Structure 1
Amino acid sequence: MSKTKFILPALKSRNYRLFFAGQGISLIGTWMTQLATVWLVYSLTNSALMLGVVGFTSQIPSFFLAPFGGVFVDRFSRYRTLIGTQIMAMIQSLALAVLALTGVIQVWHIIALSLFQGFINALDAPARQAFVPELVEKREDLANAIAINSTMINGARLIGPAVGGLIIARIGAAYCFLIDGLSYIAVIAALLAMTVKPWKVTVSQGNALQKVKEGFVYAFSFPPIRAILLLSTLVSLMGLQNTILVPIFAEEILKGGAEALGFLMAASGVGALSGGIYLATRRTILGIGKLIAIAPAILGVGLIAFACSRYLPLSLFTMLFVGLGTILQIAASNTFLQTIVEEDKRGRLMSLYTMSFLGMIPVGNLLGGFLASRIGAPNTLILDGIACIIGSILFFKQLPALKKLVIPIYEQKGIVKPVGAAR
């Protein structure tokens, strides 16, 4: 019963309940499409490099455009922005479905539509991150809302690939795209059902480039934020290459096909869901720095073990740690940044976080695809795991100095009392 108290505070807010329900349905479709895309690309080309290229095109707009997306999100209604991005994402998924169902789909279609989705994400991701505080009625429920968000995303990550793998094996990847396109109806309906306060238009001095620069200076002049963003960049660059290389393991190394691919992705989802539930039930923000430090090491060990496995049950077990390490890193970093950021810079900081997280994935995908085509997928993931462990060690060494800078902010915001901070 005590755990329920810590899981449910954010869900007491009506708008957050609507967001949770709509996103939960839509995200299952999103994960199905992600699985179907990599499977379709690999079945069309049989090329590790092409997997990297498609992953690159779907995310690279986030790297270049996210900072400007953050400026947009700080100036305009995040609510209306999200309605627009969800409608465009629905059109993108349905276009993939039509091309696949009619049998005319080619790799260049997938690349072009992945690029379009990347442009949508460059605006959608910072808007979504910055919108969460508007959904909860009590400020103290924010950390819980972010943790529940992570649980929801990874619950979908568990269900989506498992169902997607079965659908691909039985009736084909096209139906994954179709279900995803239709699932956006749920999130759009949920957004339209919300009662949102009118957006206050802020008159700000300076053009977009000046605002982007201001956001960079704010983030990188404060060591704790800078350290989080750099660690996130490393994890996204090296630690998340497994997402585009898993089809190679499922098909060639484990000889399991689409169903094995779905189970591997689902196993990662189980680990991530466990991490999300753990974060949702934490009572305090204190100690989150240690979690952020340990998470890349968990991910790194999981990647190395997965790369060395040639036995499906063992591979499924190692993917639990890959998912756990990934979500602890992403969600704990998100919670920390959302907790300490100044309100007028929230959109810009979350866009920089998007840039370090989503924006570096495409470079990692391209690098991973290139390395896998040269030294093989297993050796590539071993290198990735070593890089994550090194990043974990370096961040852990900085932790005491970073903590001294953060505690005064927690005291100022009333998150911790001075006596508790001293302890």
Structure 2
Amino acid sequence: MKNKFMSGFLSGLAGALFIFTIVLTIYVTQVEGRDSKSPEANVASEQNNGTAKATEVKETSSDEVMQKINKLETLIDKFYMEKVDDSKLADGIYKGLLASLGDPYSCYYTADEYKALMESTGGVYCGIGATVTQNVTTGIITIVKPFLNGPAHAAGILPGDIVYKVNGEEVTGKDLTEVVSKIKGEEGTKAEITIVREGETKPMEFSIPRKTVEVPTIEYEMLDNKIGYIAVSEFDEVTAEQFRKAVNDLEKQGEKGLVIDIRNNPGGLLDTVCDMLDRMLPKGLIVYTEDKYGKREEKFSDAKEEFNKPLAVLINGNSASASEIFAGAIQDYKRGTIVGTTSFGKGIVQSIIPLSDGTAIKVTVSKYFTPNGKNIHKIGIKPDVTVDLKEKLKKEVVIKKEEDNQLQKAIQVIKDQIKK
């Protein structure tokens, strides 16, 4: 086993592609053979001798790490009584390396986990049909919403259920994407989920069949008084086009105002949310990112499709990442009224780096800022109008619109604006 784990990792890393993400993918650059004029090369050329010495120390430290790994492998070979699965041992080394950063958003993906991650961006996958969220502080994973008529909903999974185990393995504190990849699988197989539910004295066991699930990223309708309503569950590849069609259709129906509901939306693709904001905003900056080198990347709207009617955007504590980019831009431009409760507070960007063996790593690489220069990490977007959802509704899978007090407040905001 000696040397093969770390050497395999390093050789895989050499063939990586950078795919910058907010939650998933933004764009790709080649890691090998960088242009000498790249920002990374410029930074390297400006390093002084002191920095070069620090690099030498780092290389020596890496040698020490390799020696210790070799020693540990020898001891495992000699003394561990059970049969060793080399691939799992290697994965453990890689996962431990990323976990040592102490960043809940940085992690290592096996080939299967990375494949599942990429599949989820397309809006179609094979799983149990539910969205989940994770408390960054406690690591607890919670069901946000089982999709209506999906396998999880049919099995009796409810919003607020805590995911304790997946296939017999405790998952609290594990990377959320890794856990989701374990829930997903081939159609016809079953995911064994152990749930902790408020009011129940013992964990509840569910055996849920996996089915092909098409994520309902956009739902829309015309409400009373010609007020349009669009619910966005995720920002996937298919969402921007669906959003445009929804807005245009409601316009044709004669809408007088619009409510966009991004409650419980965990985020998604940066390009998607920027495309959607380009449909709503005047000409100007949508969002920008800054990395540790001070490099700034900006996204702009061109005002060709600016939305000029009364607008309200619904958010809550599960509205994260790309959802916060959406709400933050609308708020900064005063293009609409943000209604609900303070959002999740994820204002950082991750990079997915695929490796040559089909695995990948995810690392935090930059912060993002709203058009007015606000970074909302661990702060969130504060609504213009604060309304907490009634307690009795928080466990409901489907909330009737006439009973949804947050939605009704947003509708009232639109009505008041129409009257002006």
- Which structure has the bigger radius of gyration? 2
TM-score range, shorter chain: under 0.3
Which one has a larger percent strand, Structure 1 or Structure 2? 2
User: TM-score, normalized by length of structure 2?
Assistant: 0.26
> Larger RCO: Structure 1 or Structure 2 (Cα < 8 Å, ≥ 6 residues apart)?
1
